[in-house]
Amino acid sequence: MMDLAPYLLLAGLEGLVMASVLMLTALGLSLVFGVMRVVNVAHGEFYMLGAVGAWACAQFVPGHPALAFCVALVVAPLLVGVLAYLADWAILKRINYDPEGTIVSTIGMLYIIQQLTLMSFGPDARAVDAPFYYTIRTPWFGYSSYKLFTVVMALVLVAGLWVMLKRSKWGLVMRATQFDRETAQNFGIPVNRVYSIVFAIGAMLAAIGGVLVVPNQQAHYLMGGDPLLLSFVVVIVGGLGSIPGTIAAAILIGMSDGLLSVFFSPTAAKIFSTLLVAFVLVFKPEGLFGRSNRV
């Protein structure tokens, strides 16, 4: 068996990769809830569509896999964003973002997307080539450099999102809508359009997560379940709608999952994160990093 230090290194790397993808998907979920108060149960399916989109790009773009990957990184999230925009317009807007109604209708969207994928893409898991292959060798084990690349990508994207929310006019509009929908509307903010766009951005973040992960995991029509569950865990632990809280919780859950699943078992890791949710809900329902008295 390995010594403790390399063991810890491997567990840390695994946790880091997990945390970074989780950060993207959970941020999407958190953003949608924060601004729209919509619990999007179909979030994991947008992640899956991102992965399937990456596979489709790999089929249609000839040449080096890196080219197809770059195309996928742009095209797949865009298509998923358009789909989410349309879903918001066709369904969520019609039921007036009624909380129970949105839960039930996003469950419906989950099944529709999943089954349509099954009917078109099929039941198999399909591999997508990574843009590059290089295995980093340590004296004890090898590690895929692509996995580390996903960490960098996720950090860049999250930083970009952060700047967009804090510095841009669009970010201001979103934050205003999140803070008080009616006042925002009174100030002339097109709240309905903000909603559609936020829903699309949330879905796109999940889709990017899917594109990044697919060279490691293969695309499969049922792959949306795990990220949905973990994203919920992260969002609840971090505080619903709180972006810094979501980032912190993603790192906490991702790293603990990596460490626990390497040192004990992946099942133990799941038990831990689910227990954490239970405790947070009982003792600090606004989340570890959330503010309690929001309007």
Partner 1 sequence: MRVMNKGQNRRSVLAGLAGTGLLMASPGIIGRARAQSGDAIRLGAPFHRTGIGASYGRWYERTANAALEVINAGGGINGMPVEMIVEDDGTDPKRGVELIEKFSAEHKVDAVFGHLFSHVAAATAPRAGELKMPYFLCSEAHTLAAGGFNRYCFQPSISDVKSQVSSMAPWISENLGKKITLIYPDYAFGYDHRDNMTAAIKAQGGEVVADIAIPPTETTFTRYMPRIPFNTEVIYHVMVGPAVMTFVKELGEHLGSNRPEIFGFIDSLEAVDIGIPQLEYLEGTHFWEGHARYAQADQTEFDKFYREKVGVDENGASVDDARDISTYAHMFSVWETLFAMKQAMEMADYKGPDQKVAFLEAMEAIEGFEASNEFPQGEKLFNGKTHQSFAHQNISKVTDGKLEVVYRTSIEETLYEDETDYTQMSF
For partner 1, the binding residues (CB under 8 A) are 1-2, 6-7, 10-11, 14, 118, 122-125, 127, 133, 135, 137, 141-144, 216-218, 220, 222-223, 226, 258, 261-262, 266-267
What crossing angle do the helices spanning 4-36 and 43-60 adopt, rounded to 10°? 110
The nearer residue to partner 1, 198 or 234, going by C-beta atoms, is 234
The nearer residue to partner 1, 137 or 169, going by C-beta atoms, is 137
The nearer residue to partner 1, 99 or 122, going by C-beta atoms, is 122
- The set of long-range contacts for 154-158, using a CB threshold of 8 Å and a minimum separation of 24, is 154/20, 154/21, 154/23, 154/24, 154/209, 154/212, 155/20, 157/24, 157/205, 157/208, 158/23, 158/24, 158/27, 158/247
Least distance (Å) between residue 294 CB and partner 1: 36
The nearer residue to partner 1, 6 or 285, going by C-beta atoms, is 6
The answer to whether 54 and 69 are in contact (CB under 8 A) is: yes
The answer to whether 215 and 131 are in contact (CB under 8 A) is: yes
From CA 104, how far away is CA 223, in angstroms rounded? 21
Least distance (Å) between residue 19 CB and partner 1: 14
Least distance (Å) between residue 217 CB and partner 1: 5
Least distance (Å) between residue 96 CB and partner 1: 29
3-state secondary structure of 285: coil
The nearer residue to partner 1, 125 or 156, going by C-beta atoms, is 125
The answer to whether 33 and 234 are in contact (CB under 8 A) is: no
Residues 6 or more apart whose CB falls under 8 angstroms from that of 152 comprise none
The nearer residue to partner 1, 10 or 157, going by C-beta atoms, is 10
Least distance (Å) between residue 245 CB and partner 1: 26
The nearer residue to partner 1, 6 or 99, going by C-beta atoms, is 6
Least distance (Å) between residue 124 CB and partner 1: 6
The nearer residue to partner 1, 7 or 170, going by C-beta atoms, is 7
Least distance (Å) between residue 84 CB and partner 1: 24
The answer to whether 33 and 102 are in contact (CB under 8 A) is: no
Nearest to 69 by CA among 51, 49, 83: 51
Residues 6 or more apart whose CB falls under 8 angstroms from that of 155 comprise 20
What is the number of other CB atoms lying within 10 angstroms of the CB of residue 124?
10
Least distance (Å) between residue 142 CB and partner 1: 5
From CA 171, how far away is CA 169, in angstroms rounded? 5
